[in-house]
Amino acid sequence: MANQVQKPVDADYSNERVPAGARKGFWPMFFIMLGFTFFSASMWTGVDLANGLNLRGFVAVILLGGAILAAYTGALGYIGAKTGLSFDLLARRAFGAKGSRLPSAMIALTQIGWFGVGAAMFAIPAAQVLAPESRVLPYLLVLAVGVCMTTSAYFGIKGLEIVSYVSVPLIAILGTYAMVTATAQGGGLTAIFAKSTGGLTLYSGVGLVIGSFVSGGTATPDFTRFARGNKAAIWTTVIAFFIGNTLMFCFGGVAGAFVGSNDIFWVMIELNLGVFAFLVLGANIWTTNDNALYTGALGLANITGKRKKPLVILAGVIGTVAAMWLYDNFCNWLTLLNATLPAVGVILIADFFANRRAYEGDEPAGRPANWAAIVGVVAGAVVGNLTGGNLVPGFTFGIAAINNMVVAAACYLAGRLLRRK
Give the pLDDT confidence of 8-39 residue by residue, as tens digits: 556 678 888 999 999 999 999 998 898 888 87
pLDDT over 70, % of the chain: 93
What Rg do the C-alpha atoms of the chain give, in angstroms? 21
Strand partners, 24: 227
Instruction: Identify the pLDDT of residue 262.
Output: 61
> pLDDT class for 291, splitting at 50, 70, 90?
confident
User: 119 φ, ψ to 5°?
Assistant: -60, -45
Q: Give mean pLDDT, residues 213-219.
A: 87
Q: Is the pLDDT of residue 263 over 70?
A: no
Q: Give mean pLDDT, residues 395-400.
A: 86
* Own/partner pairs, 133-141, CB within 8 angstroms, 24+ separation: 138/324, 139/324
Instruction: Identify the pLDDT of residue 419.
Output: 86
Instruction: Identify the pLDDT of residue 122.
Output: 86
CB atoms within 10 A of CB 48: 20
Q: Quickly list H helices, 305-370.
A: 308-321, 323-338, 342-354
Q: Give mean pLDDT, residues 376-389.
A: 93
> pLDDT class for 145, splitting at 50, 70, 90?
very high
Q: Is the pLDDT of residue 3 over 80?
A: no
Instruction: Identify the pLDDT of residue 2.
Output: 45
| pTM recorded for the entire structure | 0.88
Instruction: Tell me how far apart the alpha carbons of residues 271 and 237 are, in angstroms, rounded to a whole number.
Output: 32
Instruction: Tell me how far apart the alpha carbons of residues 71 and 65 are, in angstroms, rounded to a whole number.
Output: 10
The answer to whether the CB of 103 falls within 8 A of the CB of 222 is no
Strand partners, 227: 24
Instruction: Identify the pLDDT of residue 5.
Output: 44
Collect all residues with Cβ–Cβ distance below 8 Å to 329 and sequence separation of at least 6. none
> pLDDT class for 1, splitting at 50, 70, 90?
very low
| pLDDT tens per residue, range 303-328 | 998 888 899 999 999 999 999 988 88
User: 360 φ, ψ to 5°?
Assistant: -100, 145
Instruction: Tell me how far apart the alpha carbons of residues 135 and 209 are, in angstroms, rounded to a whole number.
Output: 34
> pLDDT class for 331, splitting at 50, 70, 90?
low
CA distances from 313 to 119, 137, 151, 268, 310 (A): 15, 23, 8, 32, 5
| pLDDT tens per residue, range 37-86 | 887 778 878 888 998 898 999 999 999 999 999 999 999 999 999 999 99
Of the candidates 245, 315, 259, 189, the one whose C-alpha atom is nearest the C-alpha of residue 42 is 245
